[in-house]
Amino acid sequence: MLKIINVVGARPNFIKVAPIVAAMKRREREFAPLLVHTGQHYDADMSDAFFRDLDLPAPDIHLGVGSAPRDQQLAAVEERFAPVLVKEKPDWVLVVGDVNSTLACARAAKKSGTRVAHVEAGLRSYDWSMPEESNRVETDRIADLLFTPSADAGDNLRAEGMPPERISLVGNIMIDSLYQHLERSRQSPVREQLGLMEKSYAVLTLHRPANVDDPIVFGRILAALETITQTLPVVFPVHPRTRKTIANLGLQERIEKMKGLRLIEPLGYLDFLSLYSGARLVLTDSGGIQEETTQLGIPCLTLRENTERPITVTLGTNKIVGTDTGTIIAAASAALAESPRQPVSIPLWDGHTAERILAALSTVS
């Protein structure tokens, strides 16, 4: 039996780890999963909602690190995770994505001689101003098994000199959660509560410091929204950090003047899935939403200059538009002028990634 510590640190991790832990529990004679929550992002109400929505068991161990500058957070997670490894003596530490907890726990595991598996390995934006890029690259250097979501991610790893035997193309774990919970999400009352008809609104997510901390950049995005909201309403679940920035930059009055821009509180997984799966258009600076909208055939405008998920552009419905006002408006107009698209089929984005991950772990001696 393989004892595996599954690490979560932020809400995107919950979505990725949930199907893996569920698959391990279905194979209880082969796998003994432990769930460690670092507490990197910790809001009790939101965390509880995500765990409940995803049928994710309560963490076996909570490190309680909390928010801090990146270097301090990396050090704190590594320091608190190291004794867990000594006590539990796992066969593998499985980390997902690119948050600080991913890298810190991979570092601690490597130092203890514990094997590391990285889910979503090989993604590259080549934008070193993003801490996530550093986290991705260093975690891939450390990991013993590199689970890639798409062929381009494997190409990136091989180009960096990674041994082919460490690379395993398994598909997109986010899509496992999407397929498992899409039907349940349709029972959410969120659209009815907001008075929204399907395909009659857009959804916006915005949280990256490069977009929300710079008043000039944030202003360009708001200028685009001032035009877009004249065509259809835009629903904006506001990240707590973004809400604070809006107040600090004195943008509240400008936002309130946009009658078509509706600011709401952050949503749990099922409510948010219900909201964006019914949207006509999504605007985001997030990563995972680019993949989920592609799978559902929803036009997505990524408010960044690059993406670590280029397959969503080449095969999917995603378009990189940056933060130029005119470019955003033109792309939104073009997307709304198109006929609604059908869901996109990308190889191995089929809801069975967790099973392929477990199969690969089982075959490594």
The enclosing H or E element of 164 equals: none
Q: Residue type for 175, please?
A: I
DSSP label of 99: S
Per the listing, tokens 């076996």 go with: 60
Helices (H), 30-172: 44-53, 70-88, 100-112, 131-142, 151-159
Largest CA distance in the chain: 62
**Whole-angstrom distance, CA of residue 11 vs CA of residue 220:** 28
Catalytic residue among 37, 118, 181, 207: 207
Task: Please calculate the CA angle 187-191-196 and round it to the nearest 5 degrees.
Answer: 145
DSSP label of 306: -
Task: Tell me the CA distances in angstroms from 328 to 223, 243, 301, 304, 317, one per residue in order.
Answer: 10, 22, 8, 11, 15
The enclosing H or E element of 301 equals: strand 300-302
Task: Tell me the CA distances in angstroms from 362 to 27, 33, 83, one per residue in order.
Answer: 11, 13, 26
Burial class (CB in 10 A: 0-12, 13-18, 19+), 123: buried
Torsion of CA 222, 228, 232, 234, to 10 degrees: -30
Count the residues in the chain: 365
What backbone phi and psi angles, to 5 degrees, belong to 289?
Answer: -65, -30
Which neighbouring-strand residues pair with 319? 301
**Whole-angstrom distance, CA of residue 335 vs CA of residue 301:** 9
Mapped onto helix, strand or coil, the DSSP state of residue 5 is strand
User: Catalytic site residue 207?
Assistant: yes
Active site positions, annotated? 207
